[in-house]
Structure 1
């Protein structure tokens, strides 16, 4: 029988490739042969676009900027009065002076809502197909729609609801939005896979983790501008869903912390849900290059792969590490730093075979070393190995200015210079892609097992102040990092210590803004930020969205204070 299938999602599938479960064989289809697809091919063509915008949402200038640069963790100044001004959006973001015309806010909104629209299309069209995959794919589309709705609730305070693609969406806020997302996740969960599914797709465990997140933040979402009151029954649900994931034994804490963010992290057992970025699929993230200096060259002999002098960590965030470990240096925590180039501790080690050349990871401080580039080529040792030495800002035409990352970074001319601010090298500079700057292959982590342990610890603290159980969960995560030195075990646990621990474990992972709001820290002051307005907990709805709905009276209301 001839099948009639909406060709638009199939064409999108061909553009954005597969969903990360397997390498789906692409074939060139035109409108004539699209109607002759098997049900399996048609189902894959419908589910592919549901995931396809995740890399765009998690682009370094979109969701990352909103979740990190708006916090005490990251700052992006106007570098050298020449780079990264972008109409001031990174300055206003950090200061909580968000603008309705901010491109990062608008782009994040657009990509999320495109993804919701594609999810609705898949939910509507998949049931007409007869392949066994349809049941699972429909559940994935429904779970992904709920996940995208969780993002819009968290960022913008709204959820758009409809099942008919041609209908006008209902707009939910507060408790109604929480209940809707909960209902959708629970409806999808029974038909999702538990094993034999990569972390690039929605699974039962991923849904359990999203339910735990939803319940943990529900008090905030129900009344966004109030001081949250965490209901014991919500905390029970957080514990229940975290228990399900931990007891499944499908995931393992990674002995090497930075392996979670390596090129080949698609096989890392700690990750539950992630943006699949393998190059044979749709890899292109720029997380590795965003913070590094323009005169750091992390790939052997690749003259095009360098940093961009983007965001640094704030001195405020660095001091949380410094204070926690004083008088010892925070590098005793293997999550803070990993030395890969031995010249940092042994200045005589200035020749490195290309196969062994990897830049350091974690939080980078002080004089930076690496490949030395002169007149467009890298210097070599006599034996042909890579010559490594102290770096200078040659690419900025400042060969007299060493690449020495300093603690001080702010929006003053002195604090905005290229070397200012300790940098973050958390994601690996890809060794496999054609260009490590633009095509990073490390999957971007959305949910991992360490977060499950720390969410459970927080729920236990908030429910009945069970500090002993919370301490055990936190120390389980700490004790798992055995590849080098383990972080010292903690001896006590409070909400403030747990908040600090979440910063140490999840820096640069798009969780900080949500954590700060839940812990009552977002109205604090740091670096260049003095705004204490609780109304800035939500981002503004982009002006383009408000304008687009202007012919529908009172349909889409701008968030307070914008």
Structure 2
């Protein structure tokens, strides 16, 4: 059942509140979920759990323009939209045409500061996840349950599982803080209310995330056995695989063997590739057997300005006006792709590749042919467009709204695991190189309708190949910045892309930009926090 989480979120209109006036800058773990209104019955705990999950989708509880974070706009604090902007808009994958929109010009030109509102939105929304998780954990201890007369064994077991899932959601929040900011204030359910948490370094955050996930992993539901929209062992293992693959960046440690171990466990869990690549990005992608965890979206029940709404509307071309093809109204050329991403699909091997959804203009009209270069970001007919996301179902039906997308955001899917497995082995992890090649070619065959026209050989499988293949397979899914950093291609000038460093052809950016600044307001709200070097 796809919309389980949101059915319960609708009940939370009176109890999901801002923590404090400055939750927008740092979580202070106030009573973010009203215990009197919510935790009086076992069903209340299920609704509260939905609230913790819901922070990944909703900005508020009374519509898409409402924010539960005081001082932060809904449009710049929706989780998946902020994640997409920080991980992809700052890279070679896309540009946003409307640079008057707060914060976007600075991100896509790599000239951001600690005052950027989207960086603040990501920081705030992520720390709100920590707050909601901690309050749930405070309210669901055995002592609290007993005091409220909750003694039914089945209900107690359910709530015990909810606690494990909430710990994973909190670990996921701190994983993002570690990746994006390199540090964060640490709060757990054991801290007092209105407490200024200590600053945790990247190493401390890594250790916390790893220990939390390993502690709860055995008690989570196996893959595919939980209600859709709730996490299972696959989600926990995916976060572990990610931190291990990036451990050289995070803590200067080789954890590639551990990454291989987690990838193998995920692959053995029963996931399989969706036969049609593009079905992973349609209105009914909740049915995809490839999805490890999707952040839910519903055009009626959970209206918000999240990533799939942005991507589906944004990909509609100003000339092409092709919104009807994707069941969406469209925002007239809001998104285009940069030259360097287009070039990842150069060559005959990609002529039939289903991942190559690149549009170059209107066929048959010489006056409406797009240029690959974007000389002026504000000119929406410069640069090619993409057609990856859709608000139509895999059977051709329209989504529930022509404004808000039904497609869930594909946070983690099996294709990524195949590529991580191959990369970890190339970097020295213990594994089967022949199997890695098979996994990569499985993706290439899927992209070429089951044929081997795009297959590679063992000598082709290199790190240089993989960084480009990750772009071809996972573009617009909020992975690119992390990938480029891991491959040493983000900061510096070894790889430049259009408008990197605010130059049309791209220039070097300094090394300190591999992490984002701590927002100015966050530093003022918690004196334990320090600014990242260079900001």
Q: Name the counterpart of 1:512.
A: 480
Superposition TM-score, scaled by structure 1 size = 0.75
Q: Name the counterpart of 2:373.
A: 408
**Equivalent pair of 1:291/1:425 in contact (CA under 8 Å):** yes
CA change 1:301–1:30 in 2 (3 A) is closer
**Equivalent pair of 1:277/1:444 in contact (CA under 8 Å):** yes
Unaligned 5+ segments in structure 2 are 16-33, 60-76, 501-506
**Equivalent pair of 2:422/2:437 in contact (CA under 8 Å):** yes
Q: What does the per-residue CA deviation read over 1:480-520, in whole Å, with 9 as the maximum and x for residues that have no partner?
A: 44657666111121111111111110011100000000011
Within a 5 Å distance, the mapping from 1:98-177 to structure 2 comes to 98-127=112-141, 128-129=144-145, 130=150, 131=155, 132-163=157-188, 164=191, 166=193, 167-177=195-205
1:256 paired residue among 258, 276, 284:
276
Q: Name the counterpart of 1:181.
A: 209
Q: What does the per-residue CA deviation read over 1:416-471, in whole Å, with 9 as the maximum and x for residues that have no partner?
A: 4121111122111356455433x100000110011111111111110169754432
Within 2, Cα distance between the matches of 1:433 and 1:503? 27
Q: What does the per-residue CA deviation read over 1:81-112, in whole Å, with 9 as the maximum and x for residues that have no partner?
A: xx43236x333323321111111111111111
CA change 1:33–1:96 in 2 (3 A) is closer
User: For 2:390, what is the secondary structure of its paired residue?
Assistant: coil
Within 1, Cα distance between the matches of 2:169 and 2:117? 24
Within 1, Cα distance between the matches of 2:247 and 2:182? 12
**Equivalent pair of 1:299/1:436 in contact (CA under 8 Å):** no
Pair 1:425 & 2:425 matched: no
Pair 1:474 & 2:494 matched: no
Q: Name the counterpart of 2:496.
A: 525
Within 1, Cα distance between the matches of 2:285 and 2:127? 28
CA change 1:469–1:28 in 2 (3 A) is closer
Q: Name the counterpart of 2:91.
A: 71
Within 2, Cα distance between the matches of 1:28 and 1:508? 31
Within 2, Cα distance between the matches of 1:407 and 1:29? 47
**Equivalent pair of 1:454/1:474 in contact (CA under 8 Å):** yes
Pair 1:243 & 2:272 matched: no
Segment drifting more, 427-436 vs 487-496 = 427-436
Q: CA deviation at 1:117?
A: 0.6
Cα-Cα RMSD: 3.0
Within 1, Cα distance between the matches of 2:400 and 2:42? 32
**Equivalent pair of 2:238/2:263 in contact (CA under 8 Å):** yes
CA change 1:64–1:332 in 2 (3 A) is same
Pair 1:309 & 2:330 matched: no
Q: Give the strand-richer structure, 1 or 2.
A: 1
Superposition TM-score, scaled by structure 2 size = 0.79
User: For 1:289, what is the secondary structure of its paired residue?
Assistant: helix
Q: Name the counterpart of 2:25.
A: none
Q: Name the counterpart of 2:286.
A: 266
Q: Name the counterpart of 1:353.
A: none
**Equivalent pair of 2:183/2:200 in contact (CA under 8 Å):** yes
Unaligned 5+ segments in structure 1 are 1-17, 224-229, 337-361, 370-389, 391-400
Q: What does the per-residue CA deviation read over 1:349-389, in whole Å, with 9 as the maximum and x for residues that have no partner?
A: xxxxxxxxxxxxx22222169xxxxxxxxxxxxxxxxxxxx
2:99 paired residue among 67, 70, 84:
84
Within a 5 Å distance, the mapping from 1:157-556 to structure 2 comes to 157-163=182-188, 164=191, 166=193, 167-194=195-222, 195-222=224-251, 231=254, 234-249=255-270, 251-279=271-299, 281-284=301-304, 285=306, 286=309, 287-294=311-318, 296-299=321-324, 305-322=329-346, 326=347, 328=348, 330-336=350-356, 362-367=357-362, 404-410=369-375, 412=376, 416-430=378-392, 432-433=398-399, 435-437=401-403, 439-463=404-428, 467-481=433-447, 483=449, 488-491=454-457, 492-523=460-491, 524-529=495-500, 530-549=507-526, 552=527, 555-556=528-529
CA change 1:38–1:96 in 2 (3 A) is same
User: For 1:62, what is the secondary structure of its paired residue?
Assistant: helix
Within 1, Cα distance between the matches of 2:386 and 2:108? 17
Q: What does the per-residue CA deviation read over 1:244-281, in whole Å, with 9 as the maximum and x for residues that have no partner?
A: 111122x1101100000010011111000111113464
Within 1, Cα distance between the matches of 2:111 and 2:274? 38
Q: What does the per-residue CA deviation read over 1:274-296, in whole Å, with 9 as the maximum and x for residues that have no partner?
A: 11113464254412012322451
User: For 1:366, what is the secondary structure of its paired residue?
Assistant: coil
Within 2, Cα distance between the matches of 1:457 and 1:28? 43
Segment drifting more, 512-521 vs 461-470 = 461-470
Q: CA deviation at 1:157?
A: 0.7
User: For 1:440, what is the secondary structure of its paired residue?
Assistant: coil
User: For 1:54, what is the secondary structure of its paired residue?
Assistant: coil
Within 2, Cα distance between the matches of 1:212 and 1:459? 10
Pair 1:50 & 2:15 matched: no
- Flag as ranges the 4+ runs of structure 1 deviating above 6 A: 28-34
User: For 1:248, what is the secondary structure of its paired residue?
Assistant: coil
User: For 1:463, what is the secondary structure of its paired residue?
Assistant: coil
Within 2, Cα distance between the matches of 1:557 and 1:300? 49
